[in-house]
Amino acid sequence: MALQEYLGAIVMEIDGQEIEVDSLDVTHNTGRRLVKTMNKTGRAKGFSKGIEEFSLRLTVSIPADGSEPDWKNIQGAKVTVSPLGGGKRTSYLDCFVTETGGKYGVDGDAKRDLSMMALREVSE
């Protein structure tokens, strides 16, 4: 049996600027909803189509030199995620930040937690 290699670390860019990211969570909500109807089977019979949503939650390191982007004012941005060893890139288009927060730990590293929404996702 051949040994498989899996994707690991990523490189993330926002509008072409590389960002030091600690973690990235992407959630794709299809927008589909269960449609409940009154019928003799007592079960739902289908679904309705809705609006897709892409939400991104990321944790980034806060640079000491102050070169951090103005996170709360990011809107219309392109977020690109590239596997470190190569492979398909995924871009999230028309992104905007909905929440920002900071956390500071005993280990001496300062982090910023961000929540973003994207209007589209494309594989490049």
Whether residue 5 lies inside any domain: the answer is no
Task: Give the domain CATH number at 27.
Answer: 2.30.110.20
Range of the domain at 75: 10-32+45-123
Entry pTM = 0.81
Residue-by-residue DSSP string for 82-98? EETT----EEEEEEEEE
Whether residue 4 lies inside any domain: the answer is no
Residues 44-90: tens digit of each pLDDT = 989 999 999 999 999 998 888 888 899 999 999 999 998 887 788 89
The band of 5, judged by pLDDT with boundaries at 50, 70 and 90, is low
Instruction: Please tell me the total count of domains within the chain.
Output: 1
The pLDDT of residue 4 is above 70: no
